Amino acid sequence: MNTYAIQLELHFQSDRPDDDRFGAFVEEVKVVAAKHGIAFGEYQSMRLPGADYTIKACARCGHLTVDRANVRSEAENMLPDFWFYVRRGTLVADTLVCDLCRPVERAT
């Protein structure tokens, strides 16, 4: 017998603190999973306030990226899987670029 495990990374941004799209979405996913005979196990989620975290798509590759200056040490342990999917980057003149796309600075 084969066992399949599915991990998805989903995200959205909203200016409304009472936005309930996520809760409604999770309930619909449970219904669809049951329809296909798939057991819905656990999920993790978090809301990161825009006032505390600058998170945008990387200006070069489009990957979800957080300004490393916003990430405090206590935030590192919150939902470690979340931080696996969100790259660190640098915000310069309102443009966020992830560390993988940023040119490597070389000592001369």
Residue 80 DSSP symbol: H
* CA–CA gap between residue 68 and residue 64 (Å, rounded): 12
User: What pLDDT, on the 0 to 100 scale, is given for residue 79?
Assistant: 66
User: What pLDDT, on the 0 to 100 scale, is given for residue 108?
Assistant: 45
Question: Which residues does 19 contact at the CB level (< 8 Å), separation at least 6?
Answer: none
Domain boundaries of the chain, sorted by first residue: 21-98
User: What pLDDT, on the 0 to 100 scale, is given for residue 91?
Assistant: 85
Task: Identify the segments of the chain with pLDDT beneath 50.
Answer: 105-108
User: What pLDDT, on the 0 to 100 scale, is given for residue 61?
Assistant: 93
- CA atoms within 13 A of residue 33's CA, in its CB half-sphere: 13
Cβ atoms of 21 and 14 within 8 Å: the answer is yes
- For residue range 28-59, list pLDDT tens digits in order: 999 999 999 999 998 888 787 888 888 889 99
